[in-house]
Amino acid sequence: MILWILIGIIVLLLAVVLFRTLTTPRKKAAYTAPPANERAEAYARKLSRMVAFDTVSVPETNQRDKFLPFHQLLEDLFPLAHEQLEKTEIDGNLLFFWKGKHSDKPLVLMSHQDVVPAEGEWKHAPFSGDIAEGKVWGRGASDTKCSVMAFFQATEELLTAGYTPEQDVYLSSSCTEEWSGDGCPKLVDELERRGVHPFLVCDEGGGIITDPVGGIHGNFAMVGVFEKGKADILLKARSEGGHASAPGKNTPVARLADFVALFEHHNPFKRKMPAEVQSMFEQLAPYAPFYMKMLFRNMWLFKPLLIKVLPMISAQAGAMLQTTIAFTMLKGSNAYNVLPQEAILGANMRFIPHEGMNASLNKVKKIASMYHLDMEVYHAVDASRSVDIHGPGFMLVRETIGKTFPGLEACPYVMTGATDARNYERIAEHVVRFAPVVYGPEQMKGMHGLNESIEYNCLPGAVDFYKNLIGANI
């Protein structure tokens, strides 16, 4: 009798799963950027000049004098914005104020001026700004001078038309984002001093991503709603050293190796699917092949399974479910036949909200003590606050995406990297991370890597997105 009851329950569950899967209409991603036209080519030429200007930032260094000439270039490219908006420059960081009809729900559009170093052999020189093969090439083309160009250009075109925004608008651009420097905090301090509390802040982070999840094809607007915390940690193993001909047990390198092996094979961090990630998968379900649709459409049954297998399938997806630790630096003795008196191991951690900075660091410290390792923590910051994916800020961005890019599905997205946006959370309620440009596989690979580029046919859409966001009835 019990066996028949179990069989009946299984059959019922399968029937519900199949019903929900089969009754979910199959969708195909409909949005592609239109072919490049004269407008796109004009924007490409502006972006090219910006990319050709070397704005590599150096950690812990005041580079104001380096960025001032770049500001002059921005003035040459966008003269009306500089004539009609109130400009504030703080140590190379920029803040522009555009007075609107109302001041109760200010809007901040932001992206950074600085870029990371460009090393290796490039197809086009990293600061050439070459326009070729339908792309603008060079460091910063996609990360993120494209956004800086787009919101300045949107402002320029609206000013040309004599437009006054409904709400105050601020354009914010730091020159220290790539090393999490003090540039953006200084701009936020200035806004706080003025008593400004933005309704919405829109920074980089997400974007129009091509093939965002393996098996799901097409372009999707992935809107970052929070970013993981991060820290750099240094672990040290000490001994009295000695000759390598007679090694004892638990030498420094061996202890570090055992420590790494534990994390690689028995990850101690808690896995949990945040509501934002679950919403992302549920929204992507209609675009997925049958087996993925079945999983994503029936989270009530398959979520525990997905939590277990996603990290095995996709490192990016797995990083949205748990704190991560990546081992990046290792140093022992300077000679093959000498046991080190000290061996060091460097790692980068990214914290998820359900097991935040303190809990994650304490867990690593406890494990380190098992192997008699000393631990030092650098540049630690906790996960950011999440935007309410049902709240007015996220919905405004989503509506603006729909208006600007017909047929483009907008999904919440968890940022595993870091941006300047987190600095605004102390004065702004809704802080989203979305750059309105198309990032295909080539663009994703090129950011912080070789041959960075952006396909310039997507630039008109980026400009129109910012124009529509400025013109939205908040």
Given a contact cutoff of 8 angstroms between Cβ atoms, the answer to whether 152 and 79 are in contact is no
How far apart are the C-alpha atoms of 188 and 426, rounded to whole Å?
Answer: 9
Residues 234/328, Cβ–Cβ less than 8 Å:
no
Query: How far, CA to CA in Å, does 27 sit from each of 24, 290, 359, 395?
Result: 9, 12, 41, 22
pLDDT tens by residue, 347-362: 999 999 999 999 999 9
Three-state secondary-structure class, residue 265: helix
Assess whether the region 38-227+384-470 and the region 229-381 belong to the same CATH fold: no
**CA angle (352 as vertex; 350, 358 as ends), nearest 5:** 80
pLDDT of the residue at 204 = 93
Residue 201, CB-side half-sphere exposure with 13 Å CA sphere: 32
Give dist(CA 69, CA 53) in Å, integer: 9
Burial pattern 30-61, b for ≥16 Cβ within 10 A else e, equals ebbbeebeeebeebbebbbbbbbbebbbeeee
Angle at which helices 275-284 and 299-313 pack, to 10 degrees?
Answer: 90
Question: Which residue type is seen at 134?
Answer: G
Per-residue pLDDT reduced to its tens digit, 378-404: 989 999 999 999 999 999 999 999 999
pLDDT at 8 over 70: no
Quick: pLDDT tens for 125-136: 999 999 999 999
Q: Taking a C-beta distance cutoff of 8 angstroms, is the pair 394, 469 a contact? A: no
- The proportion of the chain whose per-residue pLDDT surpasses 90, expressed as a percent, equals 84
Please tell me the predicted confidence (pLDDT) of residue 465. 98
pLDDT over threshold 70, residue 159: yes
The pLDDT tens digits for 403-448 are 999 999 999 999 988 899 999 999 999 999 999 999 999 999 988 8
Decide: 405 and 31 in contact? Cβ < 8 Å: yes
Distances, alpha carbon 309 to alpha carbons 125, 281, 312, 314, 318, in Å? 41, 14, 5, 9, 8
Other C-beta atoms closer than 10 Å to the C-beta of 82 total 17
Average pLDDT of span 22-31: 89
- Which pLDDT band holds residue 11 (cuts at 50, 70, 90)? low
Could you say which architecture CATH assigns to the domain 229-381?
2-Layer Sandwich (3.30)
Domain ranges of the chain: 38-227+384-470, 229-381
pLDDT, average across residues 205-209: 94
3-state secondary structure of 343: strand
Q: 81, exposed or middle or buried, with CB in 10 Å at 0-12, 13-18, 19+? A: buried
| pTM of the predicted protein model | 0.92
Compute the mean pLDDT over every residue in the chain, rounded to the nearest whole number: 94
The confidence score (pLDDT) of residue 196 equals 97
pLDDT of 391 reads: 96
The whole-number pLDDT of residue 311 equals 85
Q: Kindly report the CATH number that applies to the domain delimited by 38-227+384-470.
A: 3.40.630.10
